[in-house]
Amino acid sequence: MNKLLKDSLLPAIVTTVIAFAFNMFVAYFARTDLIIHVGEAVKVKEDYQVSVGFFNQGKKDIHKLNMILPVDIELSDINTSDPIMIRSLTGGGQNSFELGGISKSQKVQMTILFPEDVDPAKLNFLSSDISIGVKQFDGMEAPGTKELRSTLVQAVIYLIIFLGFNIYFKNQFLKLDKKALEHQTQASQQIEEFRNEIKQTSGMYEERIKILNSMQDIAEQQTSSLKKRLDEIESRVVKTRIIHARRIYEYKKELSYWRDTVRKIIYNAGMSEREANKMLEQISVNLKTHRTQKEEHDLESLIMLEEMYAYKNTEKSKE
């Protein structure tokens, strides 16, 4: 059992490390340029203070970011931990400000004083030059910590699933090998017994030789039969993986079709592409189907390789 665990653990760990590195690689290039954490409104004397954290994790400095507030305030009501450019764009019943001068990899903490209680979710941030991710502030978490934790959890799940399947199938193969070895050992013992009897009874030599050859043929047939059964089991496993991969691929195509259909309906209703994507993302959040937002990479190549492997096993079984 220990040897089985050791033989299964190494490929499972290698596969998990590769999956973890790949997920981290994808998460790195798919991340947003600017992460904004918006805190809850806290009463300070007669005013309400909202904390806003900015982290520029993009590849360039940020020179233009519009911040739209739900109520009018003065420029003096805004304070930052580091000096950045803040320009008032007040008008239209709302208070708007243009922010700039946030360097690459820079973290900036901002506090805003409001004369009345406000909903932090109504603070809007817009920019046509960069991608923005706004999150509710629940304690300053290091940038990328949530993504790293999610990737680690996925890697651990991959490790457990792969290790379980690997141990299960290797255990099945070992049982079959053990049975084959037992049959072969029994046949060899019987052959040896017959040879000893032949030496003792020379008068029945020819007859015993025929029996010996017959027993040897039976042993070879049993060994060959067990080998074919092993090949059949391996072929079934491959076919099952192909069926599951194809089914996932077809579900993914159908899901993409319905997503595009819903987007067209939303566009016809007069909503923007961003609003449509946000609505679809909210649906995934409510249903807890976050994985549907990610692309399954090279699924068709996986199916093709599995089919080639299955064909090879089929030809091998025919031989």
Greater pLDDT, 108 or 277:
108
pLDDT for residue 99:
93
Asked if residue 67 lies in contact with residue 125, where contact means CB atoms within 8 angstroms, the answer is: yes
* pLDDT, mean of residues 91-97: 67
Whether the model pTM is above 0.75: no
d(CA 270, CA 62): 31
Which CATH number is 35-133's, of 2.60.40, 1.10.287, 1.10.1060, 3.40.50?
A: 2.60.40
On the question of pLDDT at 115 being above 80, the answer is yes
Cα end-to-end distance, the chain, whole Å: 33
On the question of pLDDT at 172 being above 60, the answer is yes
pLDDT for residue 294:
60
d(CA 168, CA 178): 15
pLDDT for residue 163:
66
pLDDT for residue 204:
67
Contacts of 183 (CB under 8 A, 6+ apart): 219, 222, 223, 226
H helices of the chain, in order, are: 2-30, 145-200, 205-268, 273-287, 299-318
Sheet holding 95-100, edge to edge: 85-88, 95-100, 65-69, 124-126
Asked if residue 99 lies in contact with residue 112, where contact means CB atoms within 8 angstroms, the answer is: no
Question: Among 118-132, 146-160, 172-186, 293-307, whose mean pLDDT is lowest?
Answer: 293-307
d(CA 249, CA 258): 14
Greater pLDDT, 73 or 281:
73
Question: Among 65-74, 143-152, 202-211, 224-233, whose mean pLDDT is lowest?
Answer: 143-152
On the question of pLDDT at 106 being above 80, the answer is yes
* pLDDT, mean of residues 5-11: 57
